């Protein structure tokens, strides 16, 4: 039998207010889960109020003063705080060595849904324009509208203080855990393994794609896919490709084509269009066999 929300609040990092409401607070804001009730009514005899196995989800961003009702979850819901999830991922990485984290988070209205990009670089390395770093994209919800997700990807430093990142969902994979009490996937434990695998193989990944020349037919095929997202997008990406090839004074490579689409997708405000462009950019990359083997091993462990 699955334990109730009330019996699990402490292990989930919540505070018990009065056995009917449970509270969590971090740097982003606060969330309150409160059992819903059927009110008492008077007919021929008194019908008492009764608690339902449902909880209302109330959130308050750190810059506001009032809670707002954002949804309803069941008594089996498994709460994970935004910062609890972020910190567990960063702790997994820190066990693998000295790391500096650069976080860029965005939230839905009421902080019920989080999208946090964590860029990871070695604390002993001096950052330079053109550096490539591993990144972890963390998604989490408070209102039952989605699972916990950890997407792996790469991030390029365009200038000091400016990065272009891309989540490689299909190539590098996504770790998922649902918000249900008996969910047991080993999600965050594998993030440190990803960073180690990335450090060992990123040089080979870049070299392989930098040396892989793209034929005109292959490039037109990729641009045809981009045009399905939007004709103007094809024109803009074509301009970036021409600029990259002129600056490098050489034929277009997989890496140049990947960079062109990635840079443009980072500016795309429409989320659906951006995901489509990222998927196209991901198809351009060739991933070393050793890297794919390591990813398959890691994904098997997380699902076990």
Do 68 and 86 lie in a common domain? no
How many domains is the chain built from?
3
Query: Which of 29, 57, 74 is the last residue before a domain boundary?
Result: 74
Do 231 and 180 lie in a common domain? no
Do 90 and 180 lie in a common domain? yes
Kindly state whether residue 48 falls inside one of the protein's structural domains. yes
pLDDT tens digit sequence for 53-91: 999 999 999 998 899 999 999 999 999 999 999 998 888
Strand partners, 176: 149
pLDDT tens digit sequence for 159-169: 777 777 777 77
Mean of per-residue pLDDT scores for the chain: 80
Query: Which of 39, 74, 109 is the last residue before a domain boundary?
Result: 74
Q: What proportion of the chain, given as a percentage, has pLDDT over 90?
A: 23
Q: Taking 60 as the threshold, does the pLDDT of residue 304 lie above it?
A: no
Kindly state whether residue 300 falls inside one of the protein's structural domains. no
Give the range of the structural domain holding residue 153, as residue numbers without chain letter: 82-185
Kindly state whether residue 195 falls inside one of the protein's structural domains. no
What is the mean predicted confidence (pLDDT) over 189-205? 75
Kindly state whether residue 130 falls inside one of the protein's structural domains. yes
Cα distance between residue 59 and residue 92, in whole Å: 28
Do 27 and 98 lie in a common domain? no
């Amino acid at each position: 039998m699955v334990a109730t929300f009330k019996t699990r609040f402490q292990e989930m990092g919540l505070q018990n207010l009065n056995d009917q409401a449970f509270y969590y607070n971090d740097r982003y804001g606060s969330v309150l889960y409160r059992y819903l009730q059927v009110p008492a009514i008077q007919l021929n005899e008194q019908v008492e109020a009764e608690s339902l196995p449902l909880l209302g989800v109330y959130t308050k961003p750190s810059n506001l003063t009032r809670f707002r009702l954002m949804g309803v979850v069941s008594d089996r819901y498994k709460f994970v705080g935004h910062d609890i999830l972020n910190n567990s991922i960063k702790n997994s990485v820190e066990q693998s060595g000295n790391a500096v984290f650069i976080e860029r988070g965005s939230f839905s209205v009421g902080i019920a849904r989080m999208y946090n990009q964590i860029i990871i670089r070695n604390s002993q390395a001096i950052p330079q324009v053109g550096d490539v770093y591993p990144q972890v994209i963390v998604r989490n919800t408070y209102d039952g509208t989605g699972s916990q997700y950890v997407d792996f990807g790469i991030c390029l430093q365009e200038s000091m203080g400016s990065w272009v990142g891309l989540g490689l969902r299909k190539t590098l994979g996504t770790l998922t855990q649902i918000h249900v009490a008996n969910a047991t996937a080993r999600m965050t434990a594998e993030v440190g393994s990803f960073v180690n695998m990335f450090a060992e193989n990123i040089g080979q990944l870049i070299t392989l794609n930098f040396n892989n020349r793209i034929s005109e037919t292959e490039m037109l095929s990729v641009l045809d896919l981009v045009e399905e997202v939007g004709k103007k997008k094809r024109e803009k990406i074509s301009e970036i490709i021409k600029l990259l090839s002129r600056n490098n004074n050489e034929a277009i490579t997989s890496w140049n084509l990947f960079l062109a689409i990635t840079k443009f997708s980072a500016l795309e405000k429409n989320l659906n269009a951006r995901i489509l462009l990222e998927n196209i950019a991901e198809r351009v990359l060739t991933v070393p066999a050793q890297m794919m083997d390591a990813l398959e091993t890691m994904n098997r462990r997380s699902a076990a």
